[in-house]
Amino acid sequence: MALDKVSVANRALGKIGSKKISLFSEDSASARAINSCYDDMRDEVLTEFMWSFAQKRIVLALTTDVPVMTEDGMAYVYSLPPDLLRVNYVSQPGATYRIENGQFLSNVNGLKIIYTYRNDDPSTYFALFTSALVTRIAAEICFALTESVKKAEALAQLYRTVDLPNACSADSQQGTPDQANCDEWEFMRNMAGPINFVIPGQGVWHPVF
């Protein structure tokens, strides 16, 4: 049986010993608690990491809008994907961007991005992510349903130190790790050191032999 949102909710409720639900819309304390936070907690956990099951690659759609001010270089206005949660990669090195008032502004034309989208289909989640999401929801609703500060704090700690790191570690093995980029401060600091250097324009660490 495919995992659905009610199943995720009931796992969170079971984690704190509360009554389970049949529908999100039912009139019960458990359903009200779940409804108050489910979407926010899902989005929060999705933005914690570049999850492999929640990525989209798109060419941004340029609009006809012209920014009132372009002195900061933001001369191009793109439509913002409605399901965007976090931008993870832009196609052009050196491109800068800013998300303002429901629009995606950038200093370059023809921009492509990889982004984390609002994946609301639990059947596509992998097991360790689901466990992390369940624990995060349980931590959020725990006090409202049990009035136990200690239990809520323990669940929050479990999420942050065990479930989330385990899920991130497992998902990071789905592809070749990205090379770490360095910013301008790191570049200048490293140029002054005797061990490593950075080739200007590449922004990637290179060892000196």
* C-alpha dihedral (182, 205, 89, 124), degrees to nearest 10: -120
- 123 near 2, Cβ under 8 Å? yes
Nearest to 202 by CA among 105, 93, 72, 116: 93
What is the per-residue pLDDT for 136? 98
Alpha-carbon span 187 to 148, nearest angstrom:
48
Tens-level pLDDT at each residue, the chain (209 residues): 679 999 999 999 999 999 999 999 999 999 999 999 999 999 999 999 999 999 999 999 999 998 888 888 899 999 999 999 999 999 998 899 999 988 999 999 999 999 999 999 999 999 999 999 999 999 999 999 999 999 999 999 999 999 999 999 999 987 666 554 544 444 445 445 544 444 444 444 444 43
- 159 near 39, Cβ under 8 Å? no
What is the per-residue pLDDT for 178? 59
What is the per-residue pLDDT for 2? 78
Q: What are the Cα distances from residue 140, in Å, to 42, 157, 178, 191?
A: 12, 12, 32, 46
Alpha-carbon span 157 to 135, nearest angstrom:
10
- 155 near 142, Cβ under 8 Å? yes
Alpha-carbon span 55 to 171, nearest angstrom:
12
- 132 near 167, Cβ under 8 Å? yes
Alpha-carbon span 142 to 136, nearest angstrom:
10
What is the per-residue pLDDT for 173? 87
Alpha-carbon span 148 to 67, nearest angstrom:
50
